[in-house]
Amino acid sequence: MFPYMTRNRFPWNLNPRIKKFYSSVERLKKFANDLAVQRRREGGELGRADLLDKLLQLEKNDLEGNLVTFIIAGSESTSVTLSWCLYYLSLYPEAQARARAEVDNLGRDPETNDDLEELPFVESCFLEALRIQPPVPLLAHITTVEVSVHGYKLPAGTPIL
Percentage of the chain exceeding pLDDT 70: 71
CA–CA separation, 155 vs 143, rounded Å?
Answer: 7
Q: Please name the residue ranges forming H helices in the chain.
A: 16-42, 51-55, 60-91, 93-106, 120-132
Residue 71 pLDDT exceeds 70: no
CA–CA separation, 136 vs 8, rounded Å?
Answer: 30
Q: Could you list the residue range(s) of the whole structural domain that residue 54 is in? A: 3-160
Give the residue from 41, 42, 67, 62 showing the smallest Cα distance to 52. 67
Averaged pLDDT of the chain: 78
Under 8 Å between Cβ of 117 and 136: no
Under 8 Å between Cβ of 74 and 80: no
Angle between helices 60-91 and 16-42 (to 10 degrees): 90
End-to-end CA distance of the chain: 23
Number of domains in the chain: 1
CA–CA separation, 122 vs 101, rounded Å?
Answer: 10
Rg (C-alpha) for the chain, rounded Å, is 20
What is the pLDDT, as a whole number, of residue 1? 46
What are the tens digits of pLDDT across the range 10-59?
555 567 777 777 787 788 778 877 877 787 777 654 455 666 677 777 77
